[in-house]
């Protein structure tokens, strides 16, 4: 069974969105913050490096949240977004 964070990340992925998340000090329960966006231009391979790995472009993102959200606010935001899209 997935924990709350994993369920939220699966929900974001299902909606076709991207997320950046981090924790703020002091670390512990309730310290995760999230920014939600979507790709306007997907990252793509730009060139192959000498190691054989591909260099990726950064793509172009549009950020949909104007400030970092905590978990409760993120869940409410996702519900509203899902209803309107």
Q: How far is CA 41 from the centre of its chain?
A: 15
Whole-model pTM: value is 0.72
Asked if the model's pLDDT at residue 2 lies above 90, the reply is no
Q: How far apart are CA 24 and CA 27, in angstroms?
A: 6
What is the residue-averaged pLDDT of the chain?
A: 88
pLDDT tens digits along 49-73: 999 999 998 889 999 999 999 888 9
DSSP string, 8-35: HHHHHHHTT-EEEEEE-SSPSTT-EEEE
Q: In total, how many domains does the chain have? A: 1
**Across 15-21, average pLDDT:** 90
Asked if residue 32 lies in contact with residue 22, where contact means CB atoms within 8 angstroms, the answer is yes
Q: Which two tokens stand for residue 63?
A: 């950020």
Domain that holds residue 43: 4-84
């Amino acid at each position: 069974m997935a924990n709350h964070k994993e369920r939220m990340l699966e929900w974001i992925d299902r909606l076709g969105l991207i997320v950046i998340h981090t924790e703020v000090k002091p670390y512990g329960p309730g310290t995760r913050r999230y920014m939600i966006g979507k790709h306007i231009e997907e990252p793509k391979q730009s060139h192959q490096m000498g190691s054989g790995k591909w260099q990726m472009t950064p793509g172009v993102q549009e950020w949909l949240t104007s400030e970092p959200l905590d978990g409760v606010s993120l869940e409410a935001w996702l519900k509203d977004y899902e209803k309107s899209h």
